[in-house]
Amino acid sequence: MRAANKAHQQQQADERGRRKNAAARARALAEKKADAMPVVHLEGEKQERFVDAVLTDPAPRGGILEVFQQRYLLRLIVGRELAQLYAASLLGLLWSYIQPALRFVVYYFVFGVVIAAHRGIPNFAIHLFCGIVFVHYFSETWSAGTRSIWSNRNLVLKMRVPREIFPVASMVVAFYHTGPQILVLMIASIVVGWHLSFTAVAAGVLGFAILFTFAGAMALIFAALNVYFRDFQNIVATITQFLHFMVPMMYPFSLVHDMVDKHPVIYQLYMANPLAEAVLLMQKFFWQASVDDPSSVANEFPPDLWTRGFVILGACLLLLLFAQKFFARLEGKFPERL
Amino acid sequence: MTESIVVDHVSKTFTMQYHRTLKQMAVATVRGLPLNETFQAVNDVSFTVEQGESIGLMGLNGSGKSTLLKLINGVMRPDAGTIRTRGRIAGLIATGTGFHPQLSGRDNLFLNAAILGMSEAETKRKFDEIVDFANLGKFLDTPVSHYSSGMYARLGFSIAIHVDADIFLADEVLAVGDKPFKKKCMVKMQEVRKQGTTIFYVSHAAASVRAMCDRVLVLESGHLNFDGGTDEGIRYLQYDDDEASQEELLDGELGADV
């Protein structure tokens, strides 16, 4: 009883001391800052301001959808990313073409000329370039998106922006880089004899849909994770090194399909990669339609290409939904983790 | 009168992470050290502000003023309670806005204005006014990383004050400016106040708060301990107790920081 009483007294004394201390600090601060700011008085009568809005939560909660409502802001952020990428660079935007061009030359030489893996693949260059372009788009979105929140922490910490805007901006920047490559690919396909067909266009649309949803979902998830642990940007950088080998572009798909009986698990894993499916669909659009006799290369596509495509698109849409939820959940803690 | 800001039982807790690498975490776990610690920055704060009111937010450093402003601004979300605001919010929080160091003042101006909700046309219309007020001269097109802290603050304030916001938050940002600029800012803020904008003004300068504000809120270690008139608030903050003596005033560790 007595001990409790004593403890209580001690606590009270501590509290008094703490308050006294705070009081002294406050007085000193007030004294010191008394004339730190100039005194300006209000002149004239205060007007009433009519605000035509409802009371709402000040924090943005619209997610990706809100990003698309703020297109002007998105455009400025994309412009800023581009300006930053090519600051103090002589070749500037050209760099984003040099890299895939060199990769194309090297792969073409090694796999086309030395190993001659392209036997049986007519228009091998288009087959290969098709893969390079879309894998490039995915890798760039993924890796830039992963770094996006962390590298924009200045803004994230100080201003109210829907934070999804940064990963989305990475998607747009990556498209800005790959857009002209796609154009080159299209022109090359037309030159070798591309012809329009309904299946080709449908495959192209499905391929793009898979590519965009998958890349966007991965960018969102990893952008949030990277705020917590910067290891994720290294993980992404490592995985993107192998992506080129995990899609059928340097070798024909028929070789992969040969595994179906011997290694069914590996085959299924390979095919579960949305990127592999997207590249196959793109090849259907660009490459198969440029071959003289499209039916002659039908064995370069899985028999269940379409079913698989729609299932994967569904899975990617679910993944995107999950990514948005995941991002929104982690976002609350961004300010204290940055 | 309409409600401008409604803060209802708001709390915000920060988690401080001590260890970042797996190795450090393992070592800490073995030694039985805490992996993280929480810190309550804002504790069950409630108040309502009417449109056009001018609030002086006072309190010692670390009492949760900036956190409260960040919550009102929408940069952070409360862990508990709700915050509702009406209309466009602009302002400067914790010295300086989100500028991008490699971009020029001009590009940052457009970007910041867009984030604060200004359209392209609106920014272009107000561009000259903003630049004039910030008084950057030939530095407008140099990267902001080359700016002095005064120039940085001037540009940030100038953008925020020209937004035509319904709620304006000013958090000690002007501390870095020089006297004439501070004066200019105060005049501008009074102008904005006259137009009926709700103002949150954070300052330790009692006389300035008295002239600028209709009401004072005092935060003490996250608690809202005073909410009332300006004079009473300033008196409250001075802790007018008898034991106060000059010696104490001159005592060490007198918050040299702002």
Query: Residue by residue, what is the 3-state secondary structure of B136-168?
Result: CHHHHHCEHHHCCHHHHHHHHHHHHHCCCCCEE
End-to-end Cα spacing for chain B: 35
Distance of CA A172 to the CA centre of its chain: 9
Nearest 5°: CA angle at B111, between B71 and A83? 130
Which residues of chain A are within 8 Å of residue B51 when distances are taken between CB atoms?
Answer: 48-49, 51
Distance CA A123, CA A194 (A): 11
* Chain B neighbors of A159, CB-CB under 8 A: 75, 97-98, 112, 115-116
Per-residue pLDDT reduced to its tens digit, B173-182 = 666 677 888 8
Contacts for B213 with CB less than 8 Å, ≥ 6 apart:
B54, B55, B56, B199, B201, B230
Read off the DSSP letter of residue A206: H
Helix (H, G, I), strand (E, B) or coil at A119: coil
Single-letter amino acid code for the residue at A143? S
Q: Do A34 and B207 touch (CB under 8 A)?
A: yes
User: In A, which residues are within 8 Å of B10 by CB distance?
Assistant: none
Comparing CA positions, the residue from A151, A162, A144 lying closest to residue A331 is A162
Q: Are the C-beta atoms of residues A243 and A103 closer than 8 Å to each other? A: no
Nearest chain B residue to A22 by CA: give it: B60
The residue among B166, B229, B172 whose CA lies nearest residue B204 is: B172
Stronger pLDDT, B138 or A317, i.e. the higher one: A317
Question: For residue B251, what pLDDT is reported?
Answer: 44
Residue A216 near residue A166 (C-beta atoms within 8 A)? no
CB B161 within 8 A of CB B153: no
Burial of A171 by CB count in 10 Å (0-12 exposed, 13-18 middle, 19+ buried)?
A: buried
Q: pLDDT tens, A142-154? A: 999 999 999 888 8
The candidate with the shortest Cα–Cα distance to B183, out of B211, B224, B163, is: B211
- Distance, in Å, from the CA atom of A83 to the CA atom of A282, rounded to the nearest integer, reads 31
- What residue in B sits closest to A34 (Cα-Cα)? B205
Chain A positions touching B203 (Cβ under 8 A) are 33, 36-37
Sign of the dihedral defined by the CA atoms of residues B115, B116, B119, B123, in that order: negative
Contact B205 A36 (CB under 8 A): yes
Contact B84 A335 (CB under 8 A): no
A26 or A239, greater pLDDT: A239
Share of chain B above pLDDT 70, in %: 88
Distance from CA of A242 to the nearest CA of B (A): 26
Q: Is-contact B167 B200, C-beta < 8 A?
A: yes
Mean pLDDT, residues A199-220 taken together: 96
* Section B30-51 average pLDDT: 87
Question: Burial of A286 by CB count in 10 Å (0-12 exposed, 13-18 middle, 19+ buried)?
Answer: buried
Tokens 């914790």 — which residue? B94
Q: What is the mean pLDDT of residues A120-149?
A: 93
Which pLDDT score, from 0 to 100, does residue B33 have? 79
| Distance in angstroms (rounded) separating the CA atoms of residues B177 and B154 | 7
Mean of pLDDT values over B217-238: 87
Nearest to A159 among B102, B115, B195 (CB): B115
- Please say whether the beta carbons of A230 and A150 come within 8 A: yes
Q: Do B84 and A25 touch (CB under 8 A)?
A: no
CA atoms of A163 and A327, how far apart (whole Å): 9
Helix (H, G, I), strand (E, B) or coil at B17: strand
Q: Contact at 8 Å (CB) between B146 and B139?
A: yes
CB spacing of A59 vs B112 below 8 angstroms:
no
Beta bridge partners of B5: B49, B85
What is the pLDDT, as a whole number, of residue B244? 44
Residue B59 has pLDDT above 80, yes or no: yes
Cβ-based burial of B247 (10 A; exposed 0-12, middle 13-18, buried ≥19): exposed
- Mean pLDDT (chain B, rounded): 83
Lowest mean pLDDT segment, chosen from A142-146, B89-93, B111-115, B140-144: B89-93
Q: What local confidence, expressed as pLDDT, does residue B257 receive?
A: 40
Alpha helices in chain B (DSSP H): 22-31, 65-73, 105-115, 120-134, 149-161, 179-194, 206-212, 230-237, 246-250
How many Å lie between the alpha carbon of A320 and the closest alpha carbon of chain B? 23
Query: Residue A48 has what DSSP assignment?
Result: P
Taking the C-alpha atoms of residue A23 and residue A17, their distance in angstroms, rounded to an integer, is 10
Residue A273 has pLDDT above 90, yes or no: yes
Contact B97 A158 (CB under 8 A): yes
**Residue written as token pair 């698989």:** A308
> For the CA atoms of chain B, what is the radius of gyration?
20
Q: Residue B239: what pLDDT? A: 57
Least confident of A286-300, B11-25, B40-54: B11-25
CA A4 to the chain's CA centroid: 60
Task: Give Dmax over CA atoms of chain B in angstroms.
Answer: 62
Structural contact between residues A146 and A222, judged by C-beta atoms closer than 8 angstroms: yes
The answer to whether residue B141 scores a pLDDT higher than 80 is: yes
**Residue A316 phi, psi (nearest 5):** -70, -40
CB-nearest partner of A58 from B85, B101, B111? B85
Q: How far apart are CA A155 and CA A161, in angstroms?
A: 8
What is the amino acid identity at position B16? M
Least confident window among A211-215, A266-270, B139-143: B139-143
pLDDT over 50 (residue B249): no
Out of B86, B203, B253, name the one closest to residue A37 (CB).
B203
Does A35 have pLDDT greater than 80? no
Name the strands in the sheet holding B3-17, side by side, starting at the edge strand that comes first in the sequence. Answer: A55-56, B80-86, B3-17, B36-50
Q: Does B184 contact A at CB distance below 8 Å?
A: no
Q: Span A34-45, mean pLDDT?
A: 74
Q: Strands of A59-191 (E only): list them.
A: none
Answer yes or no: is pLDDT of A236 > 70.
Answer: yes
DSSP B94: S
Q: Mean of the pLDDT values across residues A302-327?
A: 95
The pLDDT confidence band at residue A317, using thresholds 50, 70 and 90, is: very high
Chain A within 8 Å of B17 (Cβ-Cβ)? yes
Percent of chain B with pLDDT strictly greater than 90: 26
Per-residue pLDDT, averaged over B233-253, amounts to: 55
As given in the structure block, the two tokens for residue B193 are 């106040």
Which residues, at least 6 apart from B2, have a Cβ–Cβ distance to it below 8 Å?
A51, B50, B51, B86
Query: What is the pLDDT confidence band of residue A218, given thresholds at 50, 70 and 90?
Result: very high
Q: Which of A285-289, A296-300, B153-157 has the highest mean pLDDT?
A: A285-289
For residue B72, pLDDT beyond 80: yes
- B201 Rama sector, left if φ>0, alpha if ψ -120 to 50, beta otherwise: beta
Per DSSP, the three-state class of A335 is helix
CA distances from B103 to A188, B38, B118 (A): 38, 36, 19
**What's the mean per-residue pLDDT of chain A?**
88
Is residue A98 predicted with pLDDT exceeding 70?
Answer: yes
The token duo for B209 is 């708060």
